[in-house]
Structure 1
Amino acid sequence: MKVVCPHCLSVNNVPKKDSYKKANCGKCKNSLLDTKPIDLTNTNFDELIVNSDLPIIVDFWAPWCGPCKMMAPNFSAAAESFPLKAVFAKVNTEDEQNLGARFGIRSIPTLIVFKNGVEKERVSGALPKENLVQLINKYTD
């Protein structure tokens, strides 16, 4: 399966397994098991969405948004449950207004799940970790 490195955004081919003890990027040598959400910009957004075989859950948020701040720890905690199963990413709609407009983001936080480069599901509002895990479980194999 194609996996985009969260550190350098290089595309890696990784054999599909139930679990991984170690998986490093062929280019930068950093771990592909890193679950920290990736900050997306207009420059790297399409590269990640199009090149990953994994489902990608994108959190559209803003620094002034109270519910966004409340959900951020839940989003990071949920990401830890999915090393090489899903990619968690964030778009700051204040800095990346064009991405917010492109996807018709009208309220934040808004989560969009992408699979094979296509939007599969959209949820608005802050979610607890359990609901985030349920959402992404629908798209993992």
Structure 2
Amino acid sequence: MIFLRTLQVVLDYTQDFEQQLTNKPTVIKYFTPWCGHSQILAPKFTLISSEFNDDVIFAEVNCQSNEKLCKDQKVRGHIKFLQ
């Protein structure tokens, strides 16, 4: 998972995934890098995330690299947002 505000990369999916989200409002974009819709959305998502202070967490999960996490989160399409 990549946290856009801090660019912190979490390489492993662990059971404390929910705890990593803290108690702040969080927007998570689940995507695959080969998806055209994901590619179009990427710069817009980054731009939107830069307009918020640290009051909102924006994160990305690459479902190609994190299949278990995406399966556990019931990601069925190429793009899914979790708020």
CA offset digits 1:2-58 (Å, max 9, x no partner)? xxxx6xxxxxxxxxxxxxxxxxxxxxxxxxxx7256545414733312xx2211110
Identify if the C-alpha distance between structure 1 residues 36 and 66 changes in structure 2 by more than 3 Å, giving closer, same or farther: farther
Larger Rg: 1
Q: Which runs of 5+ in 2 are unaligned?
A: none
Q: Give the letter for the 1:46 counterpart.
A: E
Please provide the CA RMSD for this pair. Answer: 2.1
Cα distance in structure 1, aligned partners of 2:44 and 2:67: 24
Q: Is this contact kept in 2: 1:35–1:79, CA < 8 A?
A: yes
Structure number with the higher helix fraction is 2
Between Structure 1 and Structure 2, how many residues are aligned?
Answer: 79
Q: Match of 1:42?
A: 13
Distance in 2 (alpha carbons) for counterparts of 1:62 and 1:78: 19
2: distance between equivalents of 1:69 and 1:98?
22
Distance 2:82 2:61 in 1: 11
- In the other structure, the counterpart of 1:84 is 54
Go from structure 1 to structure 2 and tell me whether the alpha carbon gap of 1:92 and 1:68 turns closer, same or farther (over 3 Å shift).
same
Moved over 4 A (4+): 36-41
Percent identical pairs in the alignment equals 22
Q: Which runs of 5+ in 1 are unaligned?
A: 1-5, 7-33, 114-141
